[in-house]
Chains A and B, each alone.
Chain A
Amino acid sequence: MSVTQTPAPPRSGTPTWLLGLGPLLLILAAIGAFAALGGPGLGERRGPPAEELVVERTVLKPGTIALTVRNDGPDAVTIAQAQVNDAFVQFTGPDGPIGRLKSAVVTVRQPWIEGEAYEVVLLTSTGGTIAHEIAVAVETPENDASFFGLMALLGVYVGVIPIALGMLWLPWLRSVPPAALRTIMALTIGLLTFLAIDATLEGFELAGEGAQSFGGAALVPVGAVTAFLLLSGVSSWLTQRHRAAQAAGASGATLALLVAVGIGLHNLGEGVAIGAAYAGGALALGAFLVVGFAIHNTTEGLAVVAPVAHLRPSLRRLALLGVIAGAPAVLGAWIGAAAFNASLAAFLFGFGAGAIAQVIVQLAPSLRDEEGRILHPMAVTGLLAGMALMLATGLLVSI
C-alpha cells in the first residue's frame, strides 16, 4: 500500500496511516458486528411493514398497460394482484418481492380506450394498495427512428430556431447607446431570473413524483448548487486563460459562452419535460405550442448575444453559441420521451436553475452605470420587464 510510504511522525511510535485507518476499521467492525447480530436490543420493527411503490413510467400499448414501479420504502413489497378501474385483471410482474430501491415492470391486460381515464391499483401481499392514475390514456409511441426524428424536430422547433431568431437582434444591439444596452442586459437578467424560478418550481413538482429515497426535493437544490459550482469553476478557468491573452472584450465572449451554456442546460430540462409530456399524451403538438415556444425562447437568443454586442464575433462563433443554447432541447426531448425518470428530471431542472443563477451573477456587473450602481432605475425597469415578458409569453406554452 502506498500509504505505508508516508513517513511516521517523530513524536509517536504509531504510524500516521494507522491513526487514520484505525478508527475507520473499528467503525466497519462495529457496523459489521451490529448487522451480524441483527441489531441487538432493538427487537422487531413496530407495526406492519411500510409499503411504498412509486410508478416511474407508464407505457400504454394496445391491450396492455405497463407500469415501471420502484420500491421507495424501507421494506420489500410483493405485488399479489392488480385491478384496473375497480376490476381484477390478468397481469405479469415480478414473482417475488421487490427489494428496497429495486424496480420492476408490472404489465396488466386491459382493453383500454384512447382518451379515457384509468386507475391501476396494485394489491400487495399485506392487502395494501398502490394506486396509479392515468389521466388520459394514449398509446405510448414506439422508440423507433421516426419517433426520435420527431423529437429532434420538436427540439429544433422549440430550442434551436427561436434562439437563432433571437440572435438576429445583434446588429441592432450594436447600434444602441451604452445606457440602452445596460437596460437590455437588465431585461436579459430578468428573463433569466424568471427561467431560474420556473425551473426550480418545476423541479420541485417533479421531485414529488419521483422516488423519495433518491433525495426527493433535495435533488433540485443539489442540482442547482452543482451546476453553479461547476460553471463558476469553468468561468474562472476561462477568465484566467483570456487574461493571459489580454484580448480585448474576452470577458464578453466568456460571458456569452456562459450564458449559452446556462440557457442550454435550462433547455435540456425543458426538452425533458416536453418529451415526457408528448410521450405521455399530455401534450398536443400544435402550431400554437410551437409558435408559443418560439416567442418564449426567442428572448433567450437575445440574452445570448447581449454580452457580445460590442464585439464582432464570427458567424461560426455565433452559430456555435446558438447550438450550445438551443440543441440541448433535442437531447432533452429524447431523454424525456424514451427514458423519463422524475428524479432525474428534477435534478436536471435544478441543474438548469443553478446554471442560470451562475450566469446572472456573471452578467450582473455589466449593468453597472457610470456611477457604479447596479440596481439603477433603468436596470430595475429592465429586470421587471424581462420577468413580465417571460410570464406573458409563458402563458402560450403552459403544458
Chain B
Amino acid sequence: MARLTRRRLLAGSAVVAGTLPILHSTIPHSHPWEHEAQASEGGGHGGHAADTLHDGHASFADGKTVDHMGNGFDPHELLRDFDWGRTHRTASGRVVREWTLTALDKEIEVAPGVSFAAWTYNGRIPGPTLRCREGERLRITFHNGSTHPHTIHFHGIHPAEMDGVPGIGAGQIEPGGHTVYEFDALPAGLHLYHCHVRPLAEHIAKGLYGAFIVDPREGRPEADELVMVMNGFDTNFDRANELYAANTIPFAYMHTPIAVQRDAPLRVYLVNVLEYDLINSFHLHGNLFDYYPTGTGARPSELTDTVMLCQGQRGILEWRFPHAGRYMFHAHQSEFTELGWQGFFEVSG
C-alpha cells in the first residue's frame, strides 16, 4: 500500500517539474516530501543520545575535538555565513558591491590534533562566501599577505584581464602586492573562486577557494540556506587526501548535526573543489532533492538523492524534510565518507 502511494507520487512530481518549470518558484506545487508528510502517521522519530551519535560510524577518536576558536572559524557558522560585502550606488543608481580578500598563510587544525600549513583567503577555509545580485558591479580588492604569489580566479562572465590568471591583466600577485578585480555579476547562479597560480593543485589543495553566489534579479524563494564546499586535505603531500569534508573539518556535522526545521524549505549551495580525486558526490538520506546544476536554470535537472561533481562543478539543492529525526548526508564514495565527508541533519518540529 505504502509503496504504491510513493510510486504514484513520484510520477506526479516528475510531471509537475517537467511541465511547469517557469512557475517553479512562484506557484505552489507538489513535491514528494509534502505528500509523504501527509501520508505518514504522526511524523518521524526522535534522535539518538548525543554521546552515542557516531557509534557504528567511522569517526575520529573519542574525546578529541578540533579547536574551532583556534582555527578562527567554525564549520557550523560557515554554513549560513553569506558575505554581502559593502555597497554604494553610482550616480546612475547602479549598485557597486565591494569586498577585501587577503591571502594569509595559516596553521589550521584540520582534524583533532593534526595541524596543516594552509593557505587561506581571510584566514578561513573555505574563503568567505561572496554573495551579490545579478547585474551589480563587483569590486574585489585582493591583498597578498602570504609568502607565495597568489591570485583570485573567479568563475563567471568577465573580461580576460579580470580572470586572475598569471600573465594576463594584473597576473600573479607577489607577496605584499595587491590588485582589484572588477566585473559585472553575471550570470545568476552558483559559482566559485580560487587561486590560479602554479602549481595549481597545491594552491587549491592548501585552501585557496570559496563559493561565489550571484542571486537572480528577482531573487530566490525564502529558504533555510546553507553553503557546503566539499574539500579535502593532503596532509602528507603524497598527492592523495588523508581527510575529506564539507567545509573543511571532517565529521564536524556528525558530532554536531545541522539543525533544521521540519517542512521548512532548505537550499544547499554545493560546490566541489576537491583536489587530487577525480570526482566527489553528495548523497542525502531519507529524502530526494531538486537539483539545479550551477544554479543557473530555473528548473531542476532532476529529482534525485545523489549528485556527482568533478572539481569546479557546483549546483543548488532544494528540498524539505517531512519527518523529524536525524538524517545522514555524505559523499557516496564510501572511502570519502569514512575519511570524514559525512554529517547529519537534525530535523525538529
Q: Are A and B bound to each other?
A: yes
Given A91-B61, A123-B242, A128-B235, A86:B338 Cβ within 8 A? yes
Q: With an 8 A cutoff between CB atoms, is A88 at the interface?
A: yes
Query: Interface residue tally of chain A, by bracket?
Result: 20 to 34
Question: Please, which residues of chain B bring their CB within 8 A of the CB of A86?
Answer: 335, 338-339
- Asked if A88 and B250 make an inter-chain contact with CB atoms under 8 angstroms apart, the answer reads yes
Q: With an 8 A cutoff between CB atoms, is B295 at the interface?
A: no
Question: Please, which residues of chain A bring their CB within 8 A of the CB of B112?
Answer: 80-81
Q: How many positions in chain B have a CB within 8 Å of any CB in the partner chain?
A: 24
Question: Please, which residues of chain A bring their CB within 8 A of the CB of B59?
Answer: 88-90
Question: Please, which residues of chain B bring their CB within 8 A of the CB of A127?
Answer: 110, 114-116, 233, 235-236, 242
Chain B: which residue is nearest A92 at the CB level? B61
Q: With an 8 A cutoff between CB atoms, is B77 at the interface?
A: no
Which residues of chain A (117-131) have a CB below 8 Å from chain B? 121, 123-129
- Asked if B110 and A81 make an inter-chain contact with CB atoms under 8 angstroms apart, the answer reads no
Q: With an 8 A cutoff between CB atoms, is B51 at the interface?
A: no
Chain A: which residue is nearest B233 at the CB level? A127
How many pairs of A and B residues are in contact by the CB < 8 Å rule? Answer: 63
Q: List 9 A-B contacts (CB under 8 A).
A: A80-B112, A80-B114, A86-B338, A88-B58, A88-B251, A89-B59, A90-B59, A91-B61, A126-B235
Given contacts A80-B111, A83-B339, 15 further A-B contacts (CB under 8 A): A81-B114, A86-B335, A86-B338, A86-B339, A87-B335, A92-B61, A123-B114, A123-B242, A126-B235, A127-B110, A127-B116, A127-B233, A127-B236, A128-B235, A129-B235
CA A91 – CA B112 in complex, angstroms? 13
- Asked if B62 and A90 make an inter-chain contact with CB atoms under 8 angstroms apart, the answer reads yes
Q: With an 8 A cutoff between CB atoms, is B60 at the interface?
A: yes
Q: With an 8 A cutoff between CB atoms, is A78 at the interface?
A: yes
User: Which of these, B62, B236, B335, contacts A128 with CB under 8 Å?
Assistant: B236
Mark B225-248 against chain A: 1 for CB-CB distance below 8 A, else 0. Answer: 000000001011010001000000
Mark A74-99 against chain B: 1 for CB-CB distance below 8 A, else 0. Answer: 00001011110011111110000000
Question: Please, which residues of chain B bring their CB within 8 A of the CB of A91?
Answer: 61
- Asked if A87 and B115 make an inter-chain contact with CB atoms under 8 angstroms apart, the answer reads no
Question: Please, which residues of chain B bring their CB within 8 A of the CB of A83?
Answer: 242, 339
CA A128 – CA B113 in complex, angstroms? 12
CA A121 – CA B61 in complex, angstroms? 14
- Asked if B114 and A124 make an inter-chain contact with CB atoms under 8 angstroms apart, the answer reads yes
User: Which of these, A87, A89, A92, A125, contacts B114 with CB under 8 Å?
Assistant: A125
CA A80 – CA B116 in complex, angstroms? 12
Question: Please, which residues of chain B bring their CB within 8 A of the CB of A128?
Answer: 235-236
- Asked if A126 and B115 make an inter-chain contact with CB atoms under 8 angstroms apart, the answer reads yes
CA A126 – CA B107 in complex, angstroms? 10
Looking at the assembled complex, report how far the CB atom of A119 sits from the nearest CB atom of chain B, in whole angstroms.
Answer: 12
Looking at the assembled complex, report how far the CB atom of A37 sits from the nearest CB atom of chain B, in whole angstroms.
Answer: 29
Mark B206-238 against chain A: 1 for CB-CB distance below 8 A, else 0. Answer: 000000000000000000000000000101101
Q: With an 8 A cutoff between CB atoms, is B293 at the interface?
A: no
Question: Please, which residues of chain A bring their CB within 8 A of the CB of B110?
Answer: 127
User: Which of these, A78, A81, A87, contacts B111 with CB under 8 Å?
Assistant: A81
CA A182 – CA B251 in complex, angstroms? 75
CA A121 – CA B338 in complex, angstroms? 14
CA A91 – CA B59 in complex, angstroms? 10
- Asked if B61 and A81 make an inter-chain contact with CB atoms under 8 angstroms apart, the answer reads yes
